[in-house]
Amino acid sequence: MRTVLIVEDEKKILKRLLFWIEEAELEVQVLTASTFEAGKDLIINVPIDLPVIDINLTAKDDELGVELAEIYREKYRYNPIIFQTVNEDYKYQSEIHKRIGSVFYLAKTELTEKSFVDAVRYELERLDKPFTKIIMIKLKDQVIRLDANQVIYFEKVNRERSVKCFYYDPEIGEVKMILLSNMTLKEIENMQNADVLLRCSGSHIVNPKMIKLGIITGNGVDLELKYTDERIPLGRSYYVKLRPILEGILK
């Protein structure tokens, strides 16, 4: 069962949102908080699949909800977030996107039972569906299309301006490798839709969803990956970024 957290300081609105979820018979566990501190405590200590956060928790322009969303994003890099705002065309959307990533905006002044339930249902359904995020890699004589979600990892070829890409092909159930000539890891990081991938060492980019275990070794941590027996190193300078992903799977 999925868990929804509603953070709302106005009791009437909070009661209304709870009623709407109950009426819609959504199969979810609902947790609530009316302050920044209470919301933060739940996010840190309880698994939350979808937070519904009021941007302004104590005053018109405090934006404590944005700070709360940043805390949530540190723990859940890819999960959806719903913001309740005074205006759907929120004036700081572009800034928030840079800080937190994609979020769903609901205008409180125009909120209806249907718009709220539809938004919650849509975002919950997204959690259960793999996203197709195509990376278009243009080489000298061809264009390679890769679904970033199927990528396992990229590896720099020593002393060459080339990169190996290991990815899982679900149609045949096998891992494949392609060599990307005249390409660097930095160029791959900057490509559209490559934001689901993370740099984990000077020579590797990994898909966090493909990490099975973090193995503690005498030299640090190795990442054991799905669909393959390969392990790749986790550089010390990249550990902090991947630490939330390794919670519970570090051995």
* Contact yes or no for 177/165 (Cβ under 8 A): yes
pLDDT of residue 126: 75
The answer, yes or no, to whether residue 88 has pLDDT greater than 60, is no
User: What one-character-per-residue DSSP string does the chain give?
Assistant: -EEEEEE-S-HHHHHHHHHHHHHTT--EEEEEESSHHHHHHHHHHS--SEEEEES-SSSTT--HHHHHHHHHHHH-SS---EEEESSSS-TTHHHHHHHH---EEEEGGG--HHHHHHHHHHHHHHHTS----EEEEE-SS-EEEEEGGGEEEEEEPTTSSEEEEEEEETTTTEEEEEEEET--HHHHHTSTTGGG-EEEETTEEE-GGGEEEEEEETTEEEEEETTSS-EEEE-GGGHHHHHHHHTTTB-
pLDDT of residue 129: 65
CA-to-CA distance for 37 and 47, rounded, in angstroms? Answer: 16
* pLDDT tens-digit series, residues 110-151: 889 998 999 899 888 877 765 668 888 877 777 788 888 889
Q: Following CA atoms 72, 75, 79, 81 in sequence, which dihedral angle do they give, to the nearest 10 degrees? A: 0
Which is higher by pLDDT, 179 or 129? 179
The percent of residues in the chain predicted with pLDDT above 90, rounded, is 47
pLDDT of residue 215: 92
* Contact yes or no for 110/88 (Cβ under 8 A): yes
pLDDT of residue 86: 73
CA-to-CA distance for 206 and 49, rounded, in angstroms? Answer: 23
- Give the tokens for residue 216: 């503690």
- Give the tokens for residue 96: 């928030």
CA-to-CA distance for 239 and 245, rounded, in angstroms? Answer: 10
Q: Which domains does the chain have, with CATH numbers?
A: 2-127 (3.40.50.2300), 134-246 (2.40.50.1020)
The answer, yes or no, to whether residue 104 has pLDDT greater than 90, is no
Lowest-pLDDT range, 10-24, 45-59, 74-88, 150-164? Answer: 74-88
pLDDT of residue 16: 95
Read off φ and ψ for residue 156, nearest 5 degrees: -70, 135
pLDDT of residue 211: 92
Which is higher by pLDDT, 126 or 185? 185
DSSP-assigned beta bridge partners for residue 165: 154, 178
* pLDDT tens-digit series, residues 200-248: 999 999 999 899 899 999 888 999 998 887 899 999 999 988 888 888 8
* pLDDT tens-digit series, residues 27-64: 899 999 999 999 999 999 999 999 999 988 876 667 78
Global confidence as pTM: 0.54
